[in-house]
A = this chain, B = another copy of it.
Amino acid sequence: MERVPLERKVLNENGRIAAGLRARFADHNILCLNLISSPGSGKTTLLERTLASFPPGERVAVLTGDIQTENDAMRLARFGFPVKQITTGGTCHLDARMIKRALADWRLEEIDLLLIENVGNLVCPSSYDLGEAAKVVLLSVTEGEDKPLKYPSIFFKSELLVLTKTDLLPHLQYDIRAAEENARRIQGGMRIIRTSCVSREGLQDWFSWLDERRRIVGAPPVAAC
């Protein structure tokens, strides 16, 4: 198989561009977060609630990735902050080159927080560094408790796990503690926040985590890699 060395070459090239992005984010004191989950776990809805919580003039911007459609950018643009859709046209993940290109006509000195919503995919995006300070993985409670064990890479590499759609728990056979234990079998001591964008459970905890994390933007990333 000649695939592995080629993949490594692609990842090395991606890593080189990501390192450049990380340096630029540091220069401008930007906290960049890379949100990753399965399709339909609620990344866009969490971002809607997050943008809605900010006062006008907050120095936040969003890049949102999808294979096709501008749907997410349209949903997110109505909060008045800079939002750009990256349409990958078939590629199953965002890569650092796409981020660099998307940022080309934005003034980084006007941004403090850059939220990147990756393509819905629990596998491939975990391999592509985007220059972020931290990855955040979302997992909806409709997806089954064993997902951290089945897709360990992203649970190992993320600084935070956001469990979503907890309002549906009364209607599901779902053991949320087992899901959390499984995540901590992959990453002991993993920080976890239970949320629902319907009942608003845990949203304040997410906003607080975001606030705290913004305060240590200059520090080296805490996440394992």
| Alpha-carbon distance between A212 and B169 when the two chains are bound, in angstroms | 37
- Establish whether residues B71 and A146, one from each chain, have CB atoms under 8 Å apart when the complex forms: yes
Query: How large, as a class, is the contact surface on chain A?
Result: 35 or more
User: A122-B120, A142-B165 are contacts. A40–B147 as well, Cβ < 8 Å?
Assistant: yes
User: A6-B3, A92-B92, A171-B168 are contacts. A150–B38 as well, Cβ < 8 Å?
Assistant: no
What 0/1 pattern do residues 65 to 85 of A give for CB contact below 8 A with B?
011110100000000000000
| Alpha-carbon distance between A190 and B147 when the two chains are bound, in angstroms | 30
| Alpha-carbon distance between A152 and B92 when the two chains are bound, in angstroms | 12
A143 interface contact, C-beta 8 A: yes
Give the residues in chain B near A71, CB-CB below 8 Å.
Answer: 146, 149-150
- Establish whether residues A39 and B152, one from each chain, have CB atoms under 8 Å apart when the complex forms: no
> How far is the CB of A75 from the nearest CB of chain B, in Å?
10
> 8 Å CB contacts to B: which residues of A159-188?
165, 167-168, 171-172
| Alpha-carbon distance between A158 and B38 when the two chains are bound, in angstroms | 20
- Establish whether residues A151 and B39, one from each chain, have CB atoms under 8 Å apart when the complex forms: yes
> How far is the CB of A178 from the nearest CB of chain B, in Å?
12
Give the residues in chain B near A120, CB-CB below 8 Å.
Answer: 38, 122, 150-151
User: A124-B124, A153-B90 are contacts. A142–B119 as well, Cβ < 8 Å?
Assistant: no
Can you list 14 pairs linking A and B with CB atoms under 8 Å apart?
A: A38-B38, A39-B122, A39-B143, A39-B151, A40-B143, A40-B144, A67-B123, A67-B151, A67-B152, A68-B151, A92-B123, A121-B123, A123-B124, A167-B171
Chain A residues within 8 Å of B, Cβ to Cβ: 2-3, 6, 10, 38-40, 66-69, 71, 90, 92, 119-124, 140, 142-144, 146-147, 149-153, 165, 167-168, 171-172
